[in-house]
Every structure is written in structure tokens, then in C-alpha cells.
């Protein structure tokens, strides 16, 4: 059996993270990680006539640049797994239409990066593929239009609100490698819903799911990670996760951080609670966390992307916001 504990899958064969490619927008490029991203696009429309088409271009370009940098041919890639925030994951499916790789589209909201990496590593470990590209994207303008209010209205943003990251990241997983970062364990989370209904407080909605998955992964594996990072909780959600672990007498505070608080300067960039969106954890991992593994700054990383699985229709009907989180244990 490759399953350990209640929810975790142990990767017995080698699944290497061979390379990443990240593209972000102007605001992300002005943040603390600005010089670490592979590409910064100054115009959020990027020459397109809609924000949705621009997001498609972000994702398509990330995959193409990753393949180009590693001289990968299409016949060497067995599968592309991707997803995004938009209805019917159009950014991903339209990008896949242009790239013409075998494609699996998934929806995990902001948890998509860890979800695609987890699924990809299981497929490689099971002998079904040798090379897989995992990719996701989000765009501030397209996400705001779909989930909240039209930007043209200039509505006041709540202090608990987060800034959806404009960006995309592609990650190349392979069974072939030598000494690079490897995915060793994957924990797929359960839906956790404590009744939060405020679409302007995603951190509070997702934090219980993050706690549940992190706690289960640590129990299942017993691994003492050098760094534990969640995906998109911002300052509000990060504080809730720390509080839940502290109340459980199992503090992770000294080695825990969140991509939503890493990608932006919370004090200077007026992003309120921090970053969110599929592109948040994806670009922080691809540009920053992956490099920390390669450089030997950390040897064991628990990467957990978090998602709010709501829709505008369900929210208007008074439904609460279900949360999900998926964890990927990575070692060098």
C-alpha cells in the first residue's frame, strides 16, 4: 500500500520537480519577490482585448516558456494538468487548446497548484506517465468581475479582503532526475465548512480546511518539516491557523508562513489582508520556495494550497463557503 495514515499517499518512486516558470503582473512585480519571477508583465491586459484573454495568455506562455527553457518537445510530455478560477476553467482549457498537449482540467479554486502537483506525482509514481506539466493561473480583474463587483464601480474593499494575484506558474514533474527536489507525500484534504458566508473574508473561510489538512498530514507522516507554507490565507487566515494549532498545543508558528503574506508588502501595497488566487501559491512556489529547496536553505517543505469552493450564485442564495486544502511534502 502506498497510503499511509488516514489521508496521505506516500510516493515510493522518485517524482522530481525538474523546473518551474512564473509570470506575474505589475503589482506582483513591485512586491518583495519582484526580482525572483521569470517574467513581469507591466500591462494587465498584455495586448489582449479582455482580462480573460490576458489570463489565458499568462497560462499558455508559462507552459511554452517552461518547455522552451528545458528544450522539451510535445511528444516528451505525457500530460498537462491545469485549472483556474473562472467558470468552466476556460483559461486552462483554452490554453490547452492552443498548446495541444494531452490535458486534464481540474477545479480546486486557489488550491489548484497543490492539487495538480499531487495528482501528477501519483500518476508518475503509478507508472502512468514520465513527464507532466502542472499549471494554474489567476487574474485580479477577471476574478473580481466574476466573484465580487465590477471594477468600474470602484467599490470599497473590506479590510479582510485579499488581492487576487495576477500570475501563472508552470511546474515540470518527471520520474527522471538527479538530486533535485522530490515530492514524497501527498495529502488530499476534506471539505471543511464552518459557516463563513462573507465573500470578502476568504481567509476565514479557508483556514479551517488548512488546519485540518496540515494536522492530518503531520499525523500521517510524522515528518518534522523545515518550513510549512499555506497558499492563500493572508493575514486573517494565517492568524486563525496559528490560533487553531496553538489551542491544540501543537504550535507551528515558528516555521509557518503563507504565500498571501509573502508575495506582497502588506504595509506598503494596499492589499489589505494579502494575496489570494490560484496564481498566489503557484508563483510563490515556482519563484521563491522552489529556489529555497535548490539552494539548500530548506530541505523539507510542506506546501499546502488552500481553496474556497464557492460560486457567486451559491453565495447570493445564502450558501456558506466550503474550504479545501491539499498538501504536498517535498524534500531535497
Residue 154's pLDDT band, with cuts at 50, 70 and 90, is: low
pLDDT at 160 over 90: no
Query: Which of 88-92, 144-148, 191-195 comes out lowest in average pLDDT?
Result: 144-148
Residue with more model confidence, 272 or 264: 264
pLDDT the model gives residue 313 = 87
Phi, psi of 189 (to 5 degrees): -85, 170
pLDDT the model gives residue 202 = 81
* Residue 26 · residue 139 · CB < 8 Å: no
pLDDT at 280 over 70: yes
Task: Compute the distance between CA of residue 319 and CA of residue 231 in angstroms, rounded to an integer.
Answer: 24
Task: Compute the distance between CA of residue 183 and CA of residue 175 in angstroms, rounded to an integer.
Answer: 10
Task: Compute the distance between CA of residue 234 and CA of residue 237 in angstroms, rounded to an integer.
Answer: 6
Walk me through the domains of the chain, giving residue ranges and CATH numbers.
Answer: 3-174 (3.40.47.40), 182-331 (3.40.47.40)
The torsion region of residue 259 among left (phi > 0), alpha (psi -120 to 50) and beta comes to alpha
Residue 271's pLDDT band, with cuts at 50, 70 and 90, is: confident
Residue 150's pLDDT band, with cuts at 50, 70 and 90, is: low
106-128 residue pLDDT tens: 999 999 999 999 999 999 999 99
| Burial category of 42 from C-beta neighbours within 10 Å (exposed 0-12, middle 13-18, buried 19 and up) | exposed
pLDDT the model gives residue 38 = 98
Average pLDDT, the chain: 93
Residue 307's pLDDT band, with cuts at 50, 70 and 90, is: very high
| Burial category of 4 from C-beta neighbours within 10 Å (exposed 0-12, middle 13-18, buried 19 and up) | middle
27-58 residue pLDDT tens: 999 999 999 999 999 999 999 999 999 999 99
pLDDT the model gives residue 122 = 97
222-270 residue pLDDT tens: 999 999 999 999 999 999 999 999 999 999 999 999 999 999 988 888 8
What mean pLDDT comes out for the span 161-188?
A: 91
pLDDT at 26 over 90: yes
CA dist 146 → 134, 139, 161, 269 (Å): 24, 11, 15, 23
Task: Compute the distance between CA of residue 155 and CA of residue 249 in angstroms, rounded to an integer.
Answer: 41
Residue 149's pLDDT band, with cuts at 50, 70 and 90, is: low
Task: Compute the distance between CA of residue 215 and CA of residue 63 in angstroms, rounded to an integer.
Answer: 33
pLDDT at 153 over 60: no
What mean pLDDT comes out for the span 165-175?
A: 97
pLDDT the model gives residue 315 = 81
pLDDT at 159 over 80: no
Query: Which of 59-68, 169-178, 199-208, 296-305 comes out lowest in average pLDDT?
Result: 199-208
Task: Compute the distance between CA of residue 221 and CA of residue 85 in angstroms, rounded to an integer.
Answer: 31
Amino acid at each position: 500500500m502506498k497510503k499511509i495514515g488516514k489521508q496521505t499517499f506516500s510516493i515510493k518512486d522518485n517524482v522530481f520537480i525538474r523546473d518551474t516558470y512564473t509570470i506575474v503582473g505589475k503589482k506582483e512585480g513591485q512586491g518583495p519577490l519582484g526580482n525572483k519571477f521569470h517574467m513581469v508583465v507591466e500591462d494587465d491586459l498584455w495586448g489582449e482585448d479582455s482580462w480573460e484573454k490576458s489570463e489565458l495568455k499568462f497560462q499558455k506562455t508559462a507552459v511554452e516558456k517552461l518547455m522552451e527553457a528545458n528544450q522539451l518537445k510535445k511528444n516528451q510530455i505525457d500530460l498537462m494538468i491545469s485549472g483556474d478560477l473562472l467558470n468552466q476553467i476556460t483559461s486552462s482549457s483554452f490554453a490547452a487548446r492552443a498548446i495541444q498537449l494531452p490535458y486534464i482540467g481540474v477545479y480546486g479554486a486557489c488550491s489548484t497548484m497543490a492539487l495538480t502537483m499531487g495528482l501528477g506525482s501519483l500518476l508518475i509514481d503509478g507508472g502512468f506517465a514520465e513527464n507532466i506539466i502542472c499549471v494554474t493561473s489567476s487574474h485580479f480583474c477577471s476574478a473580481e468581475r466574476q466573484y465580487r463587483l465590477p471594477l468600474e464601480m470602484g467599490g470599497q474593499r473590506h479590510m479582510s479582503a485579499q488581492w487576487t494575484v495576477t500570475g501563472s506558474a508552470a511546474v515540470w514533474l518527471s520520474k527522471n532526475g538527479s538530486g533535485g527536489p522530490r515530492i514524497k507525500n501527498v495529502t488530499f484534504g476534506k471539505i471543511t465548512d464552518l459557516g463563513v458566508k462573507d465573500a470578502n473574508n476568504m481567509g476565514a473561510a479557508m483556514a479551517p480546511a488548512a488546519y485540518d489538512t496540515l494536522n492530518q498530514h503531520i499525523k500521517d507522516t510524522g515528518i518534522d518539516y523545515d518550513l510549512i507554507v499555506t497558499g492563500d490565507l493572508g493575514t486573517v487566515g494565517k492568524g486563525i491557523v496559528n490560533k487553531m494549532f496553538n489551542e491544540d498545543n501543537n504550535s507551528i508558528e515558528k516555521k509557518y508562513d503563507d504565500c498571501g503574506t509573502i508575495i506582497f508588502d502588506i504595509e506598503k501595497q494596499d492589499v489589505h489582508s494579502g494575496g489570494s488566487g490560484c496564481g498566489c501559491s503557484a508563483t510563490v512556489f515556482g519563484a521563491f520556495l522552489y529556489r529555497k529547496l535548490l539552494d539548500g536553505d530548506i530541505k523539507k517543505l510542506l506546501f499546502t494550497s488552500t481553496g474556497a469552493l464557492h460560486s457567486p450564485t451559491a453565495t447570493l442564495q445564502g450558501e456558506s463557503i466550503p474550504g479545501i486544502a491539499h498538501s504536498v511534502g517535498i524534500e531535497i
